[in-house]
Amino acid sequence: MGLERRQIHVAYAYQRIAEEIESQILEGTLKPGEQLPGETEMAEMFGVTRSTVREGLRRLESEGLVCRPTPRRLVVAIPRIDRLSTRSGRTMALMKVTYRELWQVTLKTEMLAARLAAEMAKDDEIAALKSLHEELTGAEGNARRTIELDGRFHSQVARIGKNRVLGLAREPVAHLLFRGFAQIAPFVPQFYKRQIEAHSNIVGAIEARDPVRAETWARKHIEDFWRGVQIAGLEDEAAVKNVKALS
């Protein structure tokens, strides 16, 4: 039986400022796009110094809830997905997650993405996908470029599926996993061709609006990647050595 540890947390002024503004954004009192008053004005609004306001604003900025298109305009914003991705990616890297962990999740997300894409695809989206695919075909042998284009290909597939939650969830994971291509390719040179072929089939299935086939090929594609991971002996290896190199 004991004393519960409860946060006393007599929040500092700069924290309360941040929280206050945050609240108003989340409540909807402040709407995305709306412009906030100047620092000086806020300072006297909240009864603190400008320095204190600024410290609070830095936090909101970093959280993506406000942004400054130019130093003079401070507007309410919706956090950008890619920023969140970066952050998740960094965290996973710092946690030293393994290829196995990444792969298990990616297998599922990419299958889902492919299926949804086949269900939802519109012609222009397919065209965009094809053009990406062709670019990738041309990049055969170039690991760096392949990784870049592969990532964009899969992102595009996901985008076609019109599921923003999936987009949010898969992005950092897939990104980290596919980076591993660089470590695998030297062991399995035929990987380029296999990848291109799998992508072809995925595109084909999406174009044919065949969700099942799309999902199947996505599965094959990602399973194939796992084989590569195994050949390279990376299963339980941390997926990212040098976290810094992520950006």
Partner DNA sequence: TATGAATTAGTGTCGGACATTCACACACTG
Partner DNA sequence: CAGTGTGTGAATGTCCGACACTAATTCATA
Closest CB 21 distance from DNA, rounded Å: 13
**What, of a second copy, DNA, none, does residue 40 touch, CB below 5 to 8 Å by kind?**
DNA
Per rule CB under 8 A, is residue 120 in the interface with a second copy? no
Dihedral sign for Cα 223, 227, 229, 230, please: positive
Q: Quick one: tokens of 145?
A: 């470029």
- Name the nearest CA neighbour of 38 among 62, 61, 54: 54
With a CB cutoff of 8 Å and minimum separation 6, the contacts of 148 are none
Q: Which parts of 48-107 interact with a second copy (CB under 8 A)?
A: 51, 54-56, 58-59, 61-64, 78-79, 81, 84, 87-88, 90-95, 97, 100-102, 104-105
Among 11, 26, 127, 231, binds a second copy (CB under 8 A): 26
Among 25-33, 132-140, 200-208, 229-237, which window interacts with a second copy (CB under 8 A)? 25-33
Q: Which of 67, 168, 232, 238 binds a second copy (CB under 8 A)?
A: 168
Q: Report yes or no: 66 and 42 within 8 Å, Cβ to Cβ.
A: no
User: Which residues partner with 98 through β-bridges?
Assistant: 238
Q: What SS3 class is residue 70?
A: strand
How many CB atoms are closer than 10 A to CB 206? 29
What is the C-alpha separation between 205 and 207, in angstroms, rounded?
A: 5
Which of a second copy, DNA, none does residue 151 bind (CB under 5 to 8 Å by kind)?
none
Whether the Cβ atoms of residue 234 and residue 99 lie closer than 8 Å to each other? yes
∠ at Cα 220 (215, 222), nearest 5°? Answer: 95
- Please identify, using beta-carbon distances, which residue of 30 and 136 lies nearer to a second copy: 30
151 burial (CB, 10 Å; 0-12 / 13-18 / 19+) is: middle
Please select the residue that binds a second copy; options are 2, 5, 27, 69, rule is CB under 8 A: 27
- Provide the minimum distance between the beta carbon of 51 and a second copy in the complex, in angstroms, as a whole number: 6
Q: Distance between CA 158 and CA 135 in Å, rounded?
A: 18
Residues making contact with DNA (CB under 7 A): 12-14, 38-41, 47-52, 54-55, 68-74
Instruction: Find the shortest distance in angstroms from Cβ 196 to a second copy.
Output: 26
Instruction: Give the shortest CB-93-to-a second copy separation in angstroms.
Output: 8
Give the footprint of a second copy on this chain (CB under 8 A): 14, 23, 26-28, 32, 51, 54-56, 58-59, 61-64, 78-79, 81, 84, 87-88, 90-95, 97, 100-102, 104-105, 108-109, 111-112, 116, 163-166, 168-170, 173, 242-244, 246
